[in-house]
Structure 1
Amino acid sequence: MKITIIGFGVVGRGLAKVLYKKKDELEKNYGEFRVVAICDRSGAIIDEDGVDLKEAIEVKEKTGKLINHKKAKKVDVLDVIRNVKSDVVVEVTPSNLETGEPAKTYILESFKNKKHVVTANKGPLALYYKELVEEAKKNNVYFRYEATVGGAMPIINLAKENLAGNKILAIRGILNGTTNYILTKMEKEKVDFETALKEAQELGYAEANPSQDVDGLDTAAKIVILANSIMNLNKTIKDVKIKGIRKITPEALFLANKRGYTIKLIGEIKEGYLIVEPMLVPIESPLNVKGTLNVAMFETDLAKEVVVVGRGAGAEETASAILSDLIWIKKRLS
């Protein structure tokens, strides 16, 4: 399988590291996974015989730009999609929750050129899910996006494959590790929101501008993807009622604890409604996970409640979900 990677930030490099590290094991179990092109904003490395992943990672991590690689050229991403012979495009550029660009254009162009797509990018799916899925179908290509929700956690594939035949009545969960870390810190150490946020930023859990996380937008994008892909709703991020965690105080957490509850930022899909807001969660509930962990609970007609817990972010964790989608496609192309 020939792969083009678009975006070589934390997630793109995470995937390259996993493909390099597991090369022999993957080849033995599934056949060859050969990366023939890697693009970032500065340019692209293209090699039909396979890009030297170790070298590409080193150049990017030392210099910040792929163009500094001896084989790199200044070339437009759309030209790479159109002209480089590959089976799958892995789209892992930064998420844009306002326009979904440039990822949306890259994905549609890949479909037009009969290339399967695996993405970790929430933006286009939170805004244009229906259009993207229909275009993939029209062009008879696979479109996989397990990595858009919950990092390493198999949420979408679990619901669609392992719980096939079940009617999923509701989905709720903690889908953002940054907010969970902040609330856990506030609860355990009785510190205020600003202090907990500052520590989350120092540890690299929160961005310099943390609004996507703490104001609930990241969770909202994820529940839109779950609502559309698992429950066949046709929603966008504009349909979600969103409230973040900035107003939560240590006192509110203390009072909740006294009554046998904690407070968590929960994303919920129930009876067609999509909500993201801080909610009271019983202390003994499976939804009460700590630190940066994520959790998703499915309420189903046959299997009743099914819960999956795991790491919702991180380079290797997200690469794990991308790799599972690549293997899924590879099996169908064999």
Structure 2
Amino acid sequence: MRVAIIGFGAVGQGVAAVLADPVHGFTLTGVADSRSAIMNGDGLNPEEILAKKKETGLCGIEGKSAADILASGVFDILVEASPTNANGGEPATSLIRSTLRSGRHVVTSNKGPIASAYHELKAIADEQKVGLGYEATVAGAVPVINGIRHGLAGNTIRSLYGILNGTCNYILTRMRDEGLTYQQALQEARDLGYAEADPTYDVKGIDAAIKLVILANTLLGMNVTLSDVDISGIDLVTVEALNLAEDEGSTVRLIGEIIPERKIIRVSPRVLALDHPLVVDGTLNAIQVCTDMAGHVTFIGRGAGAQPTASAILADLISIRDYYGGRS
């Protein structure tokens, strides 16, 4: 199947690198970044495009855009990997909507459209009989969405708890292990590329909250928005608080929580015993689901970065290809 990539930052480039391997069986036919685009229905060379991006900052012809790729129709699946806008998900939401309406599949790593418009987008996909994949929006390489939807099919989800932001987990891990202050650990996370120059979405708990909204709406039958989430971040957590928890055989982690029956959905720093399954270190993500039949099931893995996210996108691409039999 032919694949076009919209958004050519770290994630988009990671996907292009994966598609360069012919073993996966996909043909890259379009790429767009914020200032340029390139398309060819017969196929593009991912390695050449990646080299050009590294050398010039452009993936294609300056002045061309995602709109040109959409108008060309030279793809069967669109990979939408532009940056997240938590307030409505635009312009990605409109782009995904129009692509689905055109009868083409979409795979996205963009949390904004799925958090703000999932039910609408899924309805369009169902009407057009096309796929909408979004595994990469939550927990990177950890197959939590497909794991719950398919692996725990038939179970009633009583609660879901998780570490959904690797940046926060890294900061708290370093504060506990090395006695760093919050500011010192945050700066280290920036230096290593784990935190953005403006880390507000991460450290204030907003990123984790967006992921909770996605999980609630797509897996748990809820209809919530970001404003429904009770959010507290880690920016007020101190070394003293971590030391006190350590003395009691515990530590502090930023936990997202959903209890559907009680309509609870919140993100906050929580004290957990050191041997709790959710106490993972560094940038790992961990999600624990409590079900009626399977009991407690825990997913742990790499939750961020170009390669883990590309892994989740590739899984969705393969699922769509196999399910729809190659038809666009």
Using the alignment, how far apart are the partners of 1:306 and 1:316 within structure 2? 25
Q: Which residue of 2 aligns with 1:77?
A: 66
Which residue identity does 1:106 align to in structure 2? Answer: L
SS of corresponding position for 2:79? strand
**What amino acid is aligned across from residue 6 of structure 2 in structure 1?**
I
Structure 2 Cα separation of the partners of residues 284 and 45 of structure 1: 51
| Equivalent residue, structure 2, for 1:207 | 196
* 1:249 aligned residue: 238
Query: In structure 1, what is the Cα distance between the partners aligned to 2:240 and 2:205?
Result: 21
Could you tell me which runs of 5 or more consecutive residues in structure 1 were left unpaired when the two chains were aligned.
Answer: 27-31
Matched, 1:99 2:88: yes
1:119: which partner in 2?
A: 108
Runs of 4 or more consecutive aligned structure 1 residues displaced over 3 Å after TM superposition:
none
Out of 30, 37, 41, the position equivalent to 2:30 is 37
Describe the SS at the equivalent of 1:295: strand
The answer to whether the 8 A contact 2:39-2:74 is kept is: no
Distance 2:85 2:282 in 1: 26
- The structure 1 residue matched to 2:272, chosen from 273, 281, 296, is 281
Normalised by the length of structure 1, the TM-score is 0.94
Q: Secondary structure at the match of 2:84?
A: coil
Equivalent AA in structure 1 for residue 292 of structure 2: D
8 Å contact from structure 1 (residues 243, 278) kept in 2: yes
> CA contact under 8 A between 1:125 and 1:225: conserved in structure 2?
yes
What residue number does 1:146 align with? 135
Note if contact 1:128-1:236 (Cα within 8 Å) is conserved in structure 2: no
Q: 1:18-42 CA deviation, whole Å, 9 max, x = no partner?
A: 111x31x22xxxxx31111111111
In 2, Cα distance between equivalents of 1:225 and 1:36:
30
SS in 1 for 2:223: coil
Residue 259 of structure 1 deviates from its aligned partner by: 1.3
* Residues 82, 113 of structure 1: 8 Å contact kept: no
In structure 1, what residue type is equivalent to 2:44? V
Instruction: Name the TM-score, length of structure 2 as normaliser.
Output: 0.96
Equivalent residue pairs, number: 323
Render the CA deviation track for 1:75-108: whole Å, top value 9, x for unaligned.
3423321322321111000111123111101100
CA offsets 1:194-230 (integer angstroms, 9 cap, x no match) = 1110111111110000000000000000011011111
Shift in Å at residue 315 of structure 1? 0.7
Match of 2:50 among 57, 63, 78: 57
Gaps of 5+ in 2: none
CA separation of 1:83 and 1:284: change in aligned 2, threshold 3 A = same
Instruction: Tell me how far apart the structure 2 counterparts of residues 86 and 208 of structure 1 sit (CA, whole Å).
Output: 35
The 5 A counterparts of 1:318-329 are 318-329=309-320
CA distance in 2, matches of 1:252, 1:97: 31
**Is the 8 Å Cα contact of residues 107 and 134 (structure 2) preserved in structure 1?**
yes
Structure-1 residue corresponding to 2:285 = 294
Corresponding residue number in structure 2 for 1:7: 7
Which residue identity lines up with residue 65 of structure 1 in the other structure? L
Once the two structures are superposed, the pairs formed by residues 156-235 of structure 1 within 5 Å of their partners are: 156-235=145-224
Q: Tell me the SS of whatever aligns to 1:60.
A: helix
CA RMSD of aligned residues (A): 1.1
